[in-house]
Amino acid sequence: MKNIDPKTITIKRALCPFCSFGCEFGIIFNDFGIKGVEYVKDGNSNGRLCPRGSAAAMYLDHPRRSTMPLKSGKAVVWSKMAKELRKVVGSPKSVAVTFDRNVTPEEYAAIVGFCDSVGIGYTASTYFEPEHNLRPFLEKPFAPADLDKAKIAFVLGDIFNQAPMSSRAIIEWKMKDKKNELIAIDSLNTHTAGFASQFLRVNIGTEPLLLLALAQENLDGVDIAKVTGIDARVVKELSNKIKNSSKGVIFASLPFGHTYDPGLYAESLDRMHEFSGMKVVPFVEFAGYEGSQPFVSIMEMVKRKKIKNLINFGELFPFYYPQLAGSLKGLNIYATSTLKHTDHTLLPVPLSLEKEGTVVTTFGKRKLTGNIEPPSGAKSVEAILSMLSSGSSTGKMPHAVEKKIDVKERARRIAEITETKKKSFKLVGEKVAYNFLGFLEGEILKINPYDATELGIGADDIVTIKSKYDAADLPVRITEDVDQGLLAAPAETPAVRGLFEYEIDSELQAVNFIPTEVKICRKG
């Protein structure tokens, strides 16, 4: 038997890639491999680490970690896979290449260069998370001094649960001066709202309308008080308070399936910024590349049978959007991934924790350390590309095209949705760090006590929820944090994410995942 010599323990520093806060931590290795995480005092978060960071070591050697290429769940050797991929890219006119948020700018440049060199013309983004709309706000990094100077701060969404590392600074700022005001806006009662001086509990998906009203935008024909559920007097008082105040911060998050119009959400934040001068600080997952191209055009090409093969670089697509499967029927999908999946053809790649490169955080651009070695079977994006084509080239990063949207029309649409009488339950997405990929705990469905009683559902019961795409069984938590007629669940695993409806935003050419009508019953 091998004795472990404590001296052989090594700690390798890494930048946490699981949200835009950019915490640093150490991964502890001993003779047998990964032992756990260590908290480093001089890091961005002073050693503190949220559930995602703590689960990082679990992720690195998770039993579901992909270490071999898989074809419909069956292992294939890399040489055979490379041969197949070379054949695929040999007909570049029938290939589309896509990339999601887990691609660094360096990887993105290599992918674009590869597409240019082999003649692949169809490229698009599969970063469908609604939060990608907040991505432009990361261009102006947040500095703690922004909050120090502030007298008022807005929080949109449950950021203390989504990015817990934000909590300390905000709570300290609020305790520092009794006059400092923290205003929470959300359709669900949350832990973050519990700390607020004022909680504006809006009707589901109407946050953008409240923001536009606060920014004194003229929304003809939309009764803000009726649609949002917030008294007109409250809106007016608050609006006058923030006008040209400039000393303020808006912390914003946008979980999957949480709002009807992510595009309008981002636009309304922009208008709030213009009106008040307040700085918008978004909390998103790590975002690497900066370009944005419409996936909708790829869907159209698939429909017209122009594309037969799709190669996705990243970790999310297509596994975390099962509802899109219908629109991608007949397509051979090759996708890079860090976890094993049984569908499609899977190419194992390093986690962001194991990569070198640049990422964008709330505090500006940071470098990934690349200190941690990926599993032996995983290949970097650059290695995969070099298997497919001789020579390497780098492409140019396209800049996101600014698109004007019809704010009034979109506001009217949300008002119409809100006014439509509800026939069934609406499922809303949440983002909870503790539910990270279901590693520590699976999703729990929140239901209002009145609804639970009506349906004969008791605490800890398992319920089945059905949407038009799929069904899932979840344990329930009965709580007044959700209004009657609403159900809320963190959308972390494909089983829950696959329930959410998607819409094509023709103006922005985006795919949006929105609050969804579902049926609920006790299991069995």
Partner 1 sequence: MQKRIVLDLDLCCGCRSCEAACKAAFKGEARIRHGDIAGVAYLPLACKHCKQPLCLASCPVEAITKDDNTGLVTRSAMVCIGCKSCAFACPFGVIDAPLVRHISQKCSLCADRDEGPRCVAACSSGALQWLSDEEIEQHEVGMRMVSKDLFFRRKA
167 binds partner 1, rule: CB under 8 A = yes
Question: Which residues inside 493-512 make contact with partner 1, applying CB under 8 A?
Answer: none
Are 227 and 203 in contact by the 8 Å Cβ rule? The answer is yes
Give the nearest distance from C-beta 440 to partner 1 in angstroms: 5
Q: Cα–Cα distance between 196 and 184 in angstroms, integer? A: 6
Give the residue among 287, 19, 340 at the shortest CA–CA distance from 132. Answer: 287
Give the nearest distance from C-beta 351 to partner 1 in angstroms: 16
**Given the rule CB under 8 A, which of 77-85, 189-197, 331-339, 374-382 is the region that contacts partner 1?**
189-197
Choose between 31 and 480: whose C-beta lies nearer to partner 1: 480
Among 164, 348, 370, 490, binds partner 1 (CB under 8 A): 164
Give the nearest distance from C-beta 224 to partner 1 in angstroms: 23
Q: Cα–Cα distance between 170 and 197 in angstroms, integer? A: 12
Phi, psi dihedrals of residue 471, rounded to the nearest 5°: -135, 150
Give the nearest distance from C-beta 174 to partner 1 in angstroms: 6
Distances (CA, A) of 424 to 201, 323, 421, 478: 21, 20, 9, 18
Give the residue among 157, 147, 169 at the shortest CA–CA distance from 48. Answer: 169
197 binds partner 1, rule: CB under 8 A = yes
Choose between 58 and 339: whose C-beta lies nearer to partner 1: 58
**Given the rule CB under 8 A, which of 196-204, 320-328, 465-473, 509-517 is the region that contacts partner 1?**
196-204
Choose between 60 and 266: whose C-beta lies nearer to partner 1: 60
* Identity of residue 77: V
Q: Cα–Cα distance between 214 and 240 in angstroms, integer? A: 8
Q: How many CB atoms lie within 10 A of CB 474?
A: 23
Are 70 and 340 in contact by the 8 Å Cβ rule? The answer is yes
Beta strands, E only, 112-270: 122-125, 152-156, 181-186, 198-201, 248-252
Length of the chain: 524
Give the nearest distance from C-beta 394 to partner 1 in angstroms: 38
339 binds partner 1, rule: CB under 8 A = no
- Cis peptide bond prior to 318, omega within 30° of 0: yes
362 binds partner 1, rule: CB under 8 A = no
DSSP states along 15-65 = E--SSTT--EEEEEEETTEEEEEEE-TTSTTTT---HHHHTHHHHHT-TTB
Q: Cα–Cα distance between 100 and 128 in angstroms, integer? A: 8
Among 406, 460, 480, 503, binds partner 1 (CB under 8 A): 480
**Given the rule CB under 8 A, which of 79-87, 190-198, 245-253, 468-476 is the region that contacts partner 1?**
190-198
- Binding letters toward partner 1, positions 213-252, x by CB under 8 A: ----------------------------------------
Question: Which residues inside 32-91 make contact with partner 1, applying CB under 8 A?
Answer: 36-37, 39, 45, 47-55, 57-58
462 binds partner 1, rule: CB under 8 A = no
Distances (CA, A) of 255 to 125, 158, 295: 18, 9, 20
Q: Cα–Cα distance between 140 and 149 in angstroms, integer? A: 17
Give the nearest distance from C-beta 363 to partner 1 in angstroms: 16
Choose between 58 and 296: whose C-beta lies nearer to partner 1: 58
Q: Cα–Cα distance between 484 and 450 in angstroms, integer? A: 7
**Given the rule CB under 8 A, which of 10-18, 166-174, 261-269, 287-295 is the region that contacts partner 1?**
166-174
Among 479, 493, 507, 517, binds partner 1 (CB under 8 A): 479
User: With CB under 8 A, what is the number of residues at the site for partner 1?
Assistant: 39
Give the nearest distance from C-beta 169 to partner 1 in angstroms: 9
Give the nearest distance from C-beta 46 to partner 1 in angstroms: 9
180 binds partner 1, rule: CB under 8 A = no
440 binds partner 1, rule: CB under 8 A = yes
490 binds partner 1, rule: CB under 8 A = no
174 binds partner 1, rule: CB under 8 A = yes
Tokens at residue 162, please? Answer: 């989504």
Choose between 155 and 299: whose C-beta lies nearer to partner 1: 155
196 binds partner 1, rule: CB under 8 A = yes
193 binds partner 1, rule: CB under 8 A = yes
Q: What are residue 27's DSSP bridge partners?
A: 12, 37
Q: Cα–Cα distance between 386 and 395 in angstroms, integer? A: 15
Element (H, E) at 447: strand 445-447
Question: Which residues inside 404-433 make contact with partner 1, applying CB under 8 A?
Answer: 433
Question: Which residues inside 306-335 make contact with partner 1, applying CB under 8 A?
Answer: none
Give the nearest distance from C-beta 41 to partner 1 in angstroms: 9
Do the bridges between strand 332-337 and strand 309-313 make them parallel or antiparallel, or are there none, so unpaired?
parallel
Give the nearest distance from C-beta 511 to partner 1 in angstroms: 30
Are 394 and 385 in contact by the 8 Å Cβ rule? The answer is no
Residues that bind partner 1 (CB under 8 A): 36-37, 39, 45, 47-55, 57-58, 160-161, 164-165, 167-168, 171, 174-175, 178, 189, 191-197, 199, 433-434, 440, 479-480
